Amino acid sequence: MTTKFVTPDSVWADIEKVRAVSPLVHNITNYVVMDVTANALLAVGASPVMAHALQEVEQMTTLAHALVLNIGTLSENWIEAMLKAQRQANKLNKPVVLDPVGLGATEYRAETISRILNNGDVTVIRGNASEIGNLCGMVAQTKGVDSTTNAENVIEQAENYAKAHNQIIAISGATDYITNGTTTIQVENGNAMMGKVTGMGCTATAMIGAFLGVNENAYLATVHAMIAMGIAGERAAQQANGPGSFRNLFMDQLYSLSAADIDSLMKVPDYAAAA
Amino acid sequence: MTTKFVTPDSVWADIEKVRAVSPLVHNITNYVVMDVTANALLAVGASPVMAHALQEVEQMTTLAHALVLNIGTLSENWIEAMLKAQRQANKLNKPVVLDPVGLGATEYRAETISRILNNGDVTVIRGNASEIGNLCGMVAQTKGVDSTTNAENVIEQAENYAKAHNQIIAISGATDYITNGTTTIQVENGNAMMGKVTGMGCTATAMIGAFLGVNENAYLATVHAMIAMGIAGERAAQQANGPGSFRNLFMDQLYSLSAADIDSLMKVPDYAAAA
Amino acid sequence: MTTKFVTPDSVWADIEKVRAVSPLVHNITNYVVMDVTANALLAVGASPVMAHALQEVEQMTTLAHALVLNIGTLSENWIEAMLKAQRQANKLNKPVVLDPVGLGATEYRAETISRILNNGDVTVIRGNASEIGNLCGMVAQTKGVDSTTNAENVIEQAENYAKAHNQIIAISGATDYITNGTTTIQVENGNAMMGKVTGMGCTATAMIGAFLGVNENAYLATVHAMIAMGIAGERAAQQANGPGSFRNLFMDQLYSLSAADIDSLMKVPDYAAAA
């Protein structure tokens, strides 16, 4: 695969599919971000559902197009629900996205990520640079759930990890990096204001779930989702007076993204170089 | 009862009572919608409280004007809290509103609704067409928590169910239907944008709780609440650029609804025909 | 200490420190307010984290600059997590802020507050007048989580309690009162619209946590946090059309508070009298 496959048209095609199919995204996620995540999924055209009871996660995953696991506010029964849902998704060949929120902050988060990765397959892991650094065995410090390093410092390890584990990894930051170990695409869309609204990273993870629900090429789906997030964020930031107005403008922009927006704003250096 | 009792004046009288009394609405609801629900209740003039511990639900229900049960993000101890609070509400003759979120998606949700309905009385059940269809024994599919059918396809069964069970049922949709088995009123207020914001259905359920807290005629209270929701939604949609701005405008509109708004915007065909 | 130490400059110095240090605030708080609290902490420049698992609360508190405990939606394992985190904070001499949400509504809340106060130290307790009245042994009724009395009616008891327990108490209301038993400062900033948005009180508590994270003088930090909240609220209210727009404007204002805003808007009568 070369990056010439990521074009404004390929991004737009997935957005149109999300709007047409309205993929059901089953989120087992943290309490803080449920509202913003559900709203972003609705805004982009997907259908969010949250369900964490052991009694129903298998059935919900069976109905869903994709499963999103997020360890932001852990507890034991939620972890068991994640593991059960993951096994069901694996059994049915449904994509699974994992957000290792705060990995590096506590041992419990490290153990939980290990349990999930030993339990079965994960299609995509998305995190900030601290989280991905820790995933790859670096001892990057995290500050709670906020990153203390840059994607540039962990991308090499992430590529090695992705290759060794046959894994797609997305690192969010000023520049996003999406790698499958062979190809790495940089996405320069986005705006620093996204870091001033809680749950924007978690929302990117859920957005990847929506795109995985309509595109069997998981790598492209991940890149497309990050581009869509970034462009909506940029457009929102242009009009925002701060993080409060930004959040709503972001939802409005996700809802109204057009082919022309993607065309004019997509910033993928490899694509530009190839064009 | 004939529908001539639902007039702009009757709606407005309840809104004024909500603002004057500020009924305490005890919500045992799902994690996703707690923020939007609490904010909508505050905006309309009510006083929301969320409490789910077995140790305190009876006392909280005792203080409250109405109890709202919502099965959106179930787990066993939350169900037990719902059942305990419901028994207390029944004992004290306080109204109970039930939102069967995602009924039809998993067996666990069906079992939970059965447990609640077998546990005691529920004054009003509000859901989308898929949820109400499933409640009435149809095999309507649901897509997670989103409806896959229209209210028109389930209203007859809902009327039969309401009559058989002495139950008020509200079906949300492009047109809302509120039935007690004898009378069915259609409310044509609302806007499709409401479906693009998470928790608007759950918010309608909580809003019914607020109106039940100030009007002993539960059927009229339910109709009034749906009209107030719909008009606030319509007015918000006129100014919104998408679901982000819509949500805030909706809160602003709920907060500032006036008698003139109700007068000019209420769309109840039976009332119009009778007038 | 005399109130002349609270000046626009002292408030502004703490805001600048929050922005520079970005203190990590560990919240064990209620489900309803997690979103608004995290967003307000980010907007003011702090770094929020929510974690409640017994397996990780000690490590998270160890990383944090301050611990915030909030009893809004209790259950047994959350209480145990609060107690464990509190002991760790005490051991490491980190500040602890407590929000006794709904104290007076149920016995369970009273028992929980007793358990926390018997478990170890709490640096600051912030509540509305009903909650603080109940804390001080008055039989003030609460209406769920909303106050049914005024700060003026409980301030004397609060001062006695603060002196007897070597405790800082902040009472939110039309006028806020912050006392350590010896000194009591009134803050007249704020706007009634803050009561129409869920979680603004809880947000004030978390904001105190952020300021405690950068100022070792806990009393001044508390006063400064209440002033910053109040001024952001006032500025937001000037432009708001209702609680929906208010909430976002509040975040924007917190994010963009300037020295000039504090200078022109700070309303601390004792300071004005001393000036």
| Chain B stretch 250-269, residues whose beta carbon is closer than 8 A to a beta carbon of chain C | 250-256
Q: Using one digit for the tens of pLDDT, what is the confidence trace for A48-100?
A: 999 999 999 999 999 999 999 999 999 999 999 999 999 999 999 999 999 99
pLDDT of residue A141: 64
Q: Using one digit for the tens of pLDDT, what is the confidence trace for C227-238?
A: 999 999 999 999
CB proximity B109 to A under 8 Å: yes
Confidence of residue C81 (pLDDT cuts 50, 70, 90): very high
CA distance B232 to C243: 13
pLDDT of residue C5: 84
Where would I find the beta strands (DSSP E) of A55-148?
A: 66-70, 96-99, 124-128, 142-143, 146-147
pLDDT of residue C58: 98
What's the mean pLDDT in C168-184? 96
Beta bridge partners of B96: B67
Delimit the domains of chain A by residue range.
8-265
- Domain A8-265: CATH superfamily, name plus number: Ribokinase (3.40.1190.20)
Mutation pick from A70, A107, A128, A241 vs chain C, by most beta carbons of C within 10 Å, is A241
For residue A22, list chain B residues with Cβ-Cβ distance below 8 A: 143, 146
What's the mean pLDDT in C10-34? 98
Question: What percent of chain A is modeled with pLDDT above 70?
Answer: 96
For residue C19, list chain A residues with Cβ-Cβ distance below 8 A: none
Lowest-confidence segment of A76-90, B63-77, C47-61, C146-160 by average pLDDT: C146-160
Which residue of chain B is at minimal alpha-carbon distance from A78?
Answer: B75
CB proximity B199 to C under 8 Å: no
Q: Over its length of 275 residues, how does chain B's per-residue pLDDT go in tens digits?
A: 445 789 999 999 999 999 999 999 999 999 999 999 999 999 999 999 999 999 999 999 999 999 999 999 999 999 999 999 999 999 999 999 999 999 999 999 999 999 999 999 999 999 999 999 999 998 666 677 777 788 888 999 999 999 999 999 999 999 999 999 999 999 999 999 999 999 999 999 999 999 999 999 999 999 999 999 999 999 999 999 999 999 999 999 999 999 999 999 999 997 766 65
Model-wide pTM > 0.90 = yes
Nearest CB among A43, A52, A250 relative to B73 is that of: A52
CB proximity A74 to C under 8 Å: yes
Confidence of residue C274 (pLDDT cuts 50, 70, 90): low
For this complex, say whether ipTM is above 0.85: yes
Residue with tokens 């062979």: A182
Q: How far is A165 from chain C (nearest CA, A)?
A: 28
CB proximity A30 to C under 8 Å: yes
For residue B39, list chain C residues with Cβ-Cβ distance below 8 A: 197-198, 243-244, 247
C2 pLDDT higher than 60: no
pLDDT of residue B1: 44
Cα B21-B25-B30 angle, rounded to 5 deg: 155
DSSP C130-149: HHHHHHTT----EETTEESS
Backbone angles phi, psi at C185, to 5 degrees: -110, 135
What's the mean pLDDT in A149-177? 94
Residue with tokens 């008055």: C138
CA distance A191 to A233: 6
A142 pLDDT higher than 70: no
- CB within 8 A of B21, min separation 6: which ones? B65, B213, B214
Cα C99-C101-C104 angle, rounded to 5 deg: 125
CB atoms within 10 A of CB B275: 8
Helix axes A243-256, A34-44, angle to 10 degrees: 30
pLDDT of residue B142: 67
For residues B157 and B138, the answer to whether their CB atoms sit within 8 Å is yes
Neighbouring chains of C at 3+ CB pairs under 8 Å are A, B
A251 pLDDT higher than 70: yes
Neighbouring chains of A at 3+ CB pairs under 8 Å are B, C
What per-residue string of b and e applies to C160-193 under the rule 16 or more CB within 10 Å gives b?
A: ebbeebebbbbbbbebbbbbbbebbbbbebbbeb
For residues C34 and C12, the answer to whether their CB atoms sit within 8 Å is no
Which residue of chain C is at minimal alpha-carbon distance from B251?
Answer: C244
A214 pLDDT higher than 60: yes
> Closest by alpha carbon to B69, among B94, B39, B45?
B94
> Closest by alpha carbon to A122, among A185, A81, A47, A70?
A70
- CB within 8 A of B44, min separation 6: which ones? B15, B18, B19, B207, B210, B228, B254, B255, B257
Q: How far is B194 from chain C (nearest CA, A)?
A: 15
For residues A122 and A114, the answer to whether their CB atoms sit within 8 Å is no
A272 pLDDT higher than 80: no
Where would I find the beta strands (DSSP E) of chain A?
A: 24-28, 47-50, 66-70, 96-99, 124-128, 142-143, 146-147, 168-172, 176-179, 184-187
- Which tokens sit at C150? 């005024």
A146 pLDDT higher than 80: no
What's the mean pLDDT in A170-189? 96
3-class secondary structure for C94-121? CCEEEECCCECCEHHHHHHHHHHHHHCC
For residue A105, list chain C residues with Cβ-Cβ distance below 8 A: 49, 51, 56, 59-60, 63
The end-to-end CA distance of chain B, in Å, is 16
Where would I find the beta strands (DSSP E) of chain B?
A: 24-28, 47-50, 66-70, 96-99, 124-128, 142-143, 146-147, 168-172, 176-179, 184-187
For residue C36, list chain B residues with Cβ-Cβ distance below 8 A: 35
Sort strands C124-128 and C142-143 into parallel, antiparallel or unpaired.
Answer: unpaired
Beta bridge partners of C142: C147
CA distances A72 to A8, A263, C51, C56, C57, Å, are: 32, 34, 8, 12, 13
The rounded mean pLDDT for chain A is: 95
- CB within 8 A of C14, min separation 6: which ones? C211, C214, C215, C220, C221, C224, C225, C228
For residue B243, list chain A residues with Cβ-Cβ distance below 8 A: 39, 42-43, 251-252, 255
For residue A145, list chain C residues with Cβ-Cβ distance below 8 A: 47-49
Residue with tokens 């004397």: C156
pLDDT of residue A1: 44
CB proximity B209 to C under 8 Å: no
What's the mean pLDDT in A230-258? 98
